[in-house]
Structure 1
């Protein structure tokens, strides 16, 4: 993911909601969200180059999502950041045990932020400071800077989500629609991450439309208090000229994923 909103205990009946966009080169092949071969209790898209995922969910509430940390330097690392998502969702370590191991080996991955949970709590690793924190109740937005960054796209997604909830717009289409926002912020408000002014403007909106690089997927995940999970994802082609949508539902903890 390149922007991810996490709402904890903000919605009646839905104690956890994830809403995020994955931005990537269109030429990098990936599979859309589906149960994984060899691990059908896990669901998510898969990167066919690195073998990992950007956001994945297990049927018992265990989940993970990753964003890259932006800098002016190309990130070369032995392991794909997507492996962090896959390893946590498939694995059995506690969140804190997993985090300790990740932080010890953090140099093996390109710079990242990782949000993950085990059904009882939500945690985040700030790759910039190499620290772990538990996310408390409320609305959090993670993008390509440190966890506490307040970039324009971060503020806009948080504010528009909170406004939608206050006005009762809680249906899937309205929530996913928040991720389609192509509003360009004031150039003076943009961060300087070392990629140059033109690139900063290209990457500034919540939804990035581009022929070679842009938003590839928009994902909504909702955890119901009864243990059921909804996973809805829209996939986009180059320049967002075409889109496909899939929706999966797990009706109870340890239940099977069903395509709607």
Structure 2
């Protein structure tokens, strides 16, 4: 994923709300989200080129994980294992998060730069192999793109503001999808310099990216209710930014959220 906006304990009924865009090359084959009969069962999309996924949830336990790449082309390793497998490993950790985090810190340097959010509504962690430090994410509205958590890139700052407004308006799914489709362009002076060159920094700057080669491939919303019920919806997009499909799942976790 290239943009994850999420709210922790910011609504009395929804302790976890996630609105995220996955940006990728259009030629990279992808399977939309579905329930995968792994152990435990996981609800997630799938990268058909390298395997792995970018975001998913274990319906039974409400264990959630999502990943963004850290954009630094000058330090890119080639070859390196696919970062999508990190999300698979997180979702397979069976809520035993501390040992998984210890293992990730040991093996994380094998991968190109990444950021990982994982945990349950009770306790979400953030880890990046660019800092090798982990933290428990506090209550609030947070944004993560292709730098460290909370880095104030224009799309992150605007996305957090729009998510906060949508939650206060009523936390409706369609409002989350509406903000994820924001295509407005920031001023050049606001753009980060990640070594991609100005043309690509402009292409990658909006919340929703439309380009013939690379763009927003899917948008996903996740709402976890305090009862343990969850709602997961994914929209797929083509290179013109047109919707090509939508899947929606609901489920009930094994326990309610306990603040």
TMscore range, shorter length: over 0.9
- Distance in 2, Cα, partners of 1:93 & 1:40: 11
- Report how many residues are paired: 253
- Distance in 1, Cα, partners of 2:160 & 2:53: 24
- 5+ residue gaps, structure 1, are 255-260
- Distance in 2, Cα, partners of 1:38 & 1:61: 15
> Taking structure 1 as reference, are residues 162 and 253 closer, same or farther at Cα in structure 2, changes over 3 Å only?
same
Q: In angstroms, what is the RMSD of aligned CA positions?
A: 1.5
34-43 vs 123-132, greater mean Cα deviation: 34-43
List 4+ stretches of structure 1 deviating above 3 A. 37-40
Match of 1:209 in 2: 210
Give the counterpart of 1:164 among 154, 158, 166. 166
Could you give the per-residue CA deviations for residues 17-43 of structure 1, whole angstroms, max 9, x where no partner exists?
111000000111111010113347310
Following superposition, the deviation at residue 45 of structure 1 comes to: 0.2
Decide whether the 8 Å contact of 1:169 with 1:175 is kept in 2: no
- Distance in 1, Cα, partners of 2:123 & 2:73: 34
SS at match of 2:15: strand
Following superposition, the deviation at residue 163 of structure 1 comes to: 1.9
122-131 vs 92-101, greater mean Cα deviation: 92-101
- Distance in 2, Cα, partners of 1:99 & 1:198: 37
SS at match of 1:19: strand
Decide whether the 8 Å contact of 2:53 with 2:88 is kept in 1: yes
SS at match of 1:14: coil
1:44-193 equivalences under 5 Å are 44-59=44-59, 60-73=61-74, 74-92=76-94, 94-166=96-168, 168-193=169-194
Following superposition, the deviation at residue 149 of structure 1 comes to: 1.0
Match of 1:258 in 2: none
- Distance in 2, Cα, partners of 1:38 & 1:114: 21
SS at match of 2:88: helix
> Taking structure 1 as reference, are residues 40 and 123 closer, same or farther at Cα in structure 2, changes over 3 Å only?
closer
Following superposition, the deviation at residue 165 of structure 1 comes to: 2.4
Match of 2:232 in 1: 231
The TM-score with structure 1 as length reference comes to 0.93
Could you give the per-residue CA deviations for residues 114-156 of structure 1, whole angstroms, max 9, x where no partner exists?
0000343000002321210110111110110122411010000
Decide whether the 8 Å contact of 1:77 with 1:109 is kept in 2: no
- Distance in 1, Cα, partners of 2:122 & 2:151: 26
- Distance in 2, Cα, partners of 1:58 & 1:148: 26
Could you give the per-residue CA deviations for residues 222-245 of structure 1, whole angstroms, max 9, x where no partner exists?
111111111001011122234211
- Distance in 2, Cα, partners of 1:117 & 1:196: 35
